[in-house]
């Protein structure tokens, strides 16, 4: 299942690395892609864990755009 997020505050590859590392700690999240220019975060997941990943993004300082 592919989950897509549009996150705020992604400014550089360091931000992208932090997001990949943070979301990658979730056991059901795989193949995390981050587009710095658009703020698009794409995650392959074993099930619908959108709410959990949204919370992780928020805690990392990259909340979803409203």
DSSP code, position 2: E
Is 47 domain-assigned? yes
Mean pLDDT of the chain: 97
Is 65 domain-assigned? no
The answer to whether the pTM exceeds 0.85 is yes
Is 40 domain-assigned? yes
Q: Which residues of the chain have pLDDT under 70?
A: none
Is 44 domain-assigned? yes
**Do strands 2-6 and 29-35 pair parallel, antiparallel, or not at all (unpaired)?**
unpaired
Provide the 3-class DSSP secondary structure of residue 58.
Answer: helix
pLDDT at residue 60, as a whole number: 98
Is 66 domain-assigned? no
Is 20 domain-assigned? yes
Total structural domains within the chain = 1
Query: What is the 3-state secondary structure of 18-55?
Result: HHHHHHHCCCCEEEEEEECCCCEEEEEECCCCHHHHHH
Q: Which CATH number characterizes residue 9's domain? A: 3.30.70.100
- Sheet containing 29-35: give its strands across: 2-6, 40-45, 29-35
pLDDT at residue 66, as a whole number: 80
Determine the structural domain holding residue 35 and report its residue range.
2-60
């Amino acid at each position: 299942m592919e989950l897509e997020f549009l996150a705020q505050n992604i400014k550089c590859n360091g931000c992208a690395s932090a997001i990949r590392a943070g979301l990658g700690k979730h056991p059901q999240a795989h193949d995390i892609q981050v587009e710095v220019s658009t703020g698009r975060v794409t995650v392959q997941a074993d099930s619908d864990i959108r709410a959990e990943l949204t919370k992780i993004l928020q805690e990392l300082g990259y909340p979803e755009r409203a």
